[in-house]
Structure 1
Amino acid sequence: MKTVIAGAGPTGLLLAGDLARAGVDVTVLERRGGESNLTRAFAVHARTLEQLDARGIAEEVIATGTRVSRLRLFNRIALDLGGLPTRFPFVLISPQYNVERVLEERAVKAGARILRGHSVTGLRQDAGGVEVRTDGGTFAADYVVGADGAHSGVRHALGLEFPGHAVVRSLMLADVRLAVPPEEAITVNAVGSAFAFVAPFGDGWYRVFAWNRGHQVPDDAPLTLEEVRDTTRQAFGTDFGMGECRWLSRFHSDERQVERYRTGRVFLAGDAAHVHSPAGGQGMNTGLQDAANLGWKLAATGAGWAPEGLLDSYQDERHAVGRLVLRTSGGILRLALLRSRGARLGRDVFAGLALHVPAVLRRATGTISGVGIDYPHAPRQRDVDLNPGGARLYELLRAGRHVLLGPSAPDGYGDRLIHAPFDRFVLVRPDGHTAWTGTEGDLPVALRAHLGAPR
């Protein structure tokens, strides 16, 4: 099976590595002619780290950043991530380019081809395959995945609408060095007219977001470091000695989601399918989890054992998650940018009281970190230590196959299943979600439903 992926960002690269590992012929088309080391995304949440752990690269990514166990949302309100039910009870602050580097090395090592300088200009599909046209050539594939960002050429070629609207305009972004860094790893504040957010990359550089209600100009309006300093001082009373700057950018934030993630043989993932506010650091994480969901399903289709409707389940499972992320990140942003002092005080009091309720805290931390997000028929499966041998479940998932935990092993599924002794039967999908739990008597029917006929 041949697959073309448009976009060599984190979403496209994780997907490329998964497919290449499964023996799929993968070509990644990237519009950038060279690598970019300056990007907006910088937060890697717990569920994403679990997905990276299932590929054997979590520790490599963690080594590039700073662990933060408390995620501040606004003013004095923070979420304590230390109680998350995961091996990674923190958010990792690391620039997107670090994640991309690790994922690209994995994809190339597995056999994926990455071609730069190719922007998708059109495509044509029929029952037999897809033809992708770029400004650098034409490519034939069995399936195509558009992971080429908010201005996706694949989505445009499909003629799909991208409904939504701008939620905040004229956001300022800067990567700077600070002479007097803030005491907390993540620092955020809003005073009604100004908002600012500061987080460390761990290498001496800091990411600053700033917004001035009274000065909202087009994205292409000139931006100076002094404007960022001034807004930061309004929000915090200090600019933390903001000095050397390596990147300045002004942008607006939209909330948009495409209605269909699949059109025939073409799929959309990451920002090509959904965009939302930067609040909560959800963007890169949601895209990576799109890729983790789609990859094994495409690989199963290529291997010839995918049950009927498996590819359609990508839409069923991930569209609802995208909608949830839009609501969550949009709600956080709107609360952070409340105009009146009274409204902000009410928000702080109410949120502070609510987060002292254990069920509310679990829901909030689980949603933002991703570990609390389940699919209707496939809840997230926590990592477990397995005996004998001492292996963990997520270490077994690194083979890219389903894992059957249970007292006995079935015959005929060795090409798509790993068995590990356990006190009960649990069938875990390659993306770390539980496909089935039950008894030995129901096992043959369950395996046929989820893994096709035995060989």
Structure 2
Amino acid sequence: MSSTAESGTTRGTRTVIVVGAGPTGLLLAGDLAAAGIPVTVLEKRGEGISNLSRAFVLHARTLELLDARALADDLEAVGRPLERLRLFGKLSIGLDTLPSRFNHLLVLPQYEVEKVLHRRAVDAGADFRYETELTGLTQDADGVSVHVRGPAADPGTLRASYVVGTDGMRSAVREAVGLPFPGRSVIKSVVLADVRLAEQPESLLTVDAVGDAFAFIAPFGDGYHRVIGWHRGRAVPDHEEVALDEVKEITRRALGRDFGMYDARWMSRFHSDERQAPAYRVGRVFLAGDAAHVHTPAGGQGMNTGLQDAANLGWKLARVAAGHAADALLDTYHSERHPVGASVLRSSGGIVRLAMAKTPWARAARGVLTTVLDTVGPARRAVTGRITGIGYRYPAPRGSHRLTGRRVPDVRLADGSRLHEALRGGRFVLIAPKAATPPAAGETGPLAVRHWAGDRRTALLVRPDGYAAWAAEAPGPDAVREALQAHLG
């Protein structure tokens, strides 16, 4: 099997291997290829997108990142918006007041997201190698040797400057670098089924927990619905066959009826874990998505967190691989995203534990939380910000402007465009006061210069992932030049 690049570089540009072609790997590969970084994607599956997906929602922050890649409108056209997220019982959270252009959930199967991301990565020039499995890797000062088993009769070795494992919970990349995956199984014997329904649910997403049972129903859009169910008293091994009657019984217990389920085209059983790798970087090897963290499906945060990992790592890896930034930039991937992963484990775990509350004190706590979120605005905004992803802030240097490290909304600019449009192409965007004379205007390689639509006096440098890298109030030209030099070189 031939090597991507024996030295790990191509015409002076370092190369990247992404292991795993799920949503996280596809977004990352597309970002790297669009930035001109040679990238190879290894995938154990044969070519073609699997429709056996567990994820069914895109949250606001993820839609913002996709909008910055000109992909959100295509997905909005095939998905269905939902303005309230129901968590359990009477607890639901309204999303219509989110400070985002995407003030809703978008309900659509994971494979629809994969289709769009795959097409973008292919169009940008990413090299896909299917039926190719990583069997090990070794790294040195110059790159990583990836040992693979593929369609060819003999195993082979690929060489790259960096490797990113986006290969799921049972990550071969994580195992190859010797990272543990501490945590535990939280829910065992969860059943999955794709079925037709004789009776349509009243809500686009149907979810509830009653007594010892939990059930979730979401539409594929092709006449089938995905059902996820669990019953506390039914703890059997994952390999035990699932019967439609079992799915119906769990659904009746949790939702009061089974909606006339019939014609199951696929059924399976799995267990839900809470685990997180202690490090997202080991030398030249990185982990993202389920390879780095897994948690319960409560709140629909899994695929979203992985896509946000990819958006954070992609621009950093592209700049370092192209020689435009120092290696230390790559360390910020772990320092920024590992705390987010830990937070998602806590929030999703908290939701599922409250949903399945059995003891009187736990049920009382659930009731208190429901009341607080219904009546206390700051608490509701904090929870909504966590679940939708728009509330996270990255660490900022001491003494920084209050906006540094924060997500920047999709603001309107003086030329009538939006910030997300200016971010397309993986650029930094400098938003300057109208009266200021920035050091450059228009498009200048990795930087786009724009002006505020109003009279704001803040100068704001926005990273390619939509977070503020630097900000200052009415700075002089020298201060702006120093900031650009520090972040763009």
Q: TM-score, normalised by structure 2?
A: 0.90
* Counterpart pick for 2:409 among 379, 382, 385: 382
Query: Structure 1 residues 273-282 or 412-421, which shifts more?
Result: 412-421
Show the counterpart of 1:429. Answer: 463
Match of 1:272? 291
Pick the aligned partner of 2:481 from 413, 429, 444. 444
Aligned residue in 2 for 1:408: 437
Alignment partner of 1:391 is 2:405: no
Matched, 1:19 2:46: no
Measured after TM superposition, the shift of residue 340 of structure 1 is 4.3
Residue 246 (structure 1) shift: 2.1
2:134 is the counterpart of 1:108: no
The answer to whether the 8 Å contact 1:45/1:92 transfers is yes
Mapped partners of 1:303, 1:40: distance in 2? 36
Aligned to 2:3: none
Q: Per chain length, whose mean CA-contact separation is higher, i.e. which structure has more relative contact order (CA < 8 Å, sep 6+)?
A: 1
Render the CA deviation track for 1:315-373: whole Å, top value 9, x for unaligned: 10000100000001000011111124774365135413333211011111111011111
**Where in structure 2 are the equivalents of 1:354-369 lying within 5 Å?**
354-369=373-388
CA distance in 2, matches of 1:362, 1:106: 34
Q: Is the 8 A contact 2:24 2:306 kept in 1?
A: yes
- What SS class does the counterpart of residue 89 from structure 1 fall into? coil
Counterpart in the other structure of 1:83: 97
Q: Which moved more, 1:438-447 or 1:126-135?
A: 438-447
SS at match of 2:387: helix
For the Cα contact (< 8 Å) 2:43–2:133, is it kept in 1? yes
SS in 2 for 1:78: strand
Helix, strand or coil at the partner of 2:176: helix
Alignment of 1:123-162 (within 5 A): 123-136=137-150, 137-162=156-181
> Separation in 1 of the partners of 2:119 and 2:377?
41
Residue 57, structure 1, aligned to residue 57, structure 2? no
CA distance in 2, matches of 1:261, 1:16: 18
Aligned to 1:396, the other structure's residue is in SS state helix
1:5-31 alpha-carbon deviations (Å, 9 max, x no partner): 000000000000000011000100001
2:191 and 2:228 in contact (8 A); partners too? yes
Gaps of 5+ in 2: 1-13, 151-155, 397-404
Q: Which piece of structure 1 moves more, 284-293 or 406-415?
A: 406-415
Residue 170 (structure 1) aligns with: 189
Kindly state the Cα deviation for residue 292 of structure 1 after the two structures are TM-superposed. Answer: 0.2
**CA positional deviation for 1:307:** 4.2
Q: Give, as a single letter, the amino acid of the residue that structure 2 aligns with 1:138.
A: T
- CA–CA distance in 1 between the matches of 2:161 and 2:362? 54
- Partner letter of residue 418 of structure 2? R
What residue number does 1:6 align with? 19
Label 1:138 to 1:308 Cα distance change in 2 as closer, same or farther (>3 A): closer
Is residue 176–residue 244 contact of structure 1 (8 Å, CA) maintained in 2? Answer: yes
Q: Residues 374 and 380 of structure 2 are in contact (CA less than 8 Å); yes or no, is this contact kept in structure 1? A: yes
Distance 2:395 2:487 in 1: 15
After superposing the two structures, state which structure 1 stretch, 183-192 or 14-23, moved more: 183-192
* Contact 1:192/1:340 (8 A) holds in 2: no
Other structure's SS at 1:63 match? helix
Range that drifts further, 19-28 or 174-183: 174-183
Distance 1:285 1:314 in 2: 16
Q: Does 1:325 align with 2:362?
A: no
1:262-301 map, 5 Å: 262-301=281-320
Partner of 2:207: 188
TM-superposed CA distance for 1:410, in Å, is: 1.9
Q: Which residue of 1 aligns with 2:47?
A: 34
Counterpart Cα distance in 2 of 1:352 and 1:185: 24
Deviations 1:418-449 (A, max 9, x none): 11123431100000000011113421221122
Question: In terms of mean alpha carbon deviation, does 186-195 or 23-32 score higher?
Answer: 186-195
CA distance in 1, matches of 2:345, 2:281: 19
Contact 1:122 1:132 in 2 (8 A): yes
Checking the alignment, whether the CA contact within 8 Å between 1:66 and 1:202 is kept in structure 2 is no
Q: Distance in 2 between matches of 1:82 and 1:209?
A: 26
State the identity %.
56
Q: Aligned in 2, Cα 1:309/1:329: closer, same or farther, shift over 3 Å?
A: same
User: SS at 2:411's partner residue?
Assistant: coil
Q: Which whole-Å CA distance do the structure 1 matches of 2:471 and 2:328 have between them?
A: 20
Q: CA deviation at 1:153?
A: 0.7
**Count of aligned positions:** 451
Deviations 1:152-201 (A, max 9, x none): 11111111111111011001111222111221222222222211112223
Q: Are the counterparts in 1 of residues 408 and 468 from structure 2 also a CA contact under 8 Å?
A: yes
- CA separation of 1:310/1:346 partners in 2, compared to 1, >3 Å: closer, same or farther? closer
Q: Tell me how far apart the structure 1 counterparts of residues 359 and 268 of structure 2 sit (CA, whole Å).
A: 28
Deviates more, 1:244-253 or 1:122-131: 244-253
User: Could you say if the C-alpha distance between residues 203 and 349 of structure 1 is closer, same or farther in structure 2, counting changes exceeding 3 Å?
Assistant: farther
Structure 1 partner of 2:367:
348
- Tell me, yes or no, if structure 1 residue 306 matches structure 2 residue 325: yes
In structure 2, distance between residues paired with 1:10 and 1:149: 11
1:315 corresponding residue in structure 2: 334
Given that residues 288 and 310 in structure 2 are in contact (C-alpha distance below 8 angstroms), is that contact kept between their aligned partners in structure 1? yes
SS of the aligned residue for 1:353 comes to helix
Residue 60 (structure 1) shift:
0.8
Q: TM-score, normalised by structure 1?
A: 0.96
Secondary structure of residue in 1 paired with 2:262: strand
Distance 2:326 2:47 in 1: 40
**How big is the shift at 1:415?**
2.0
CA contact (8 A) 2:438 2:480 kept: no
Q: Contact 1:307/1:450 (CA < 8 Å) preserved in 2? A: no
- Contact kept in structure 2, 1:293 and 1:431, CA below 8 Å: yes
Aligned pair in 2 of structure 1 residues 230, 342: CA closer, same or farther (>3 Å)?
Answer: farther
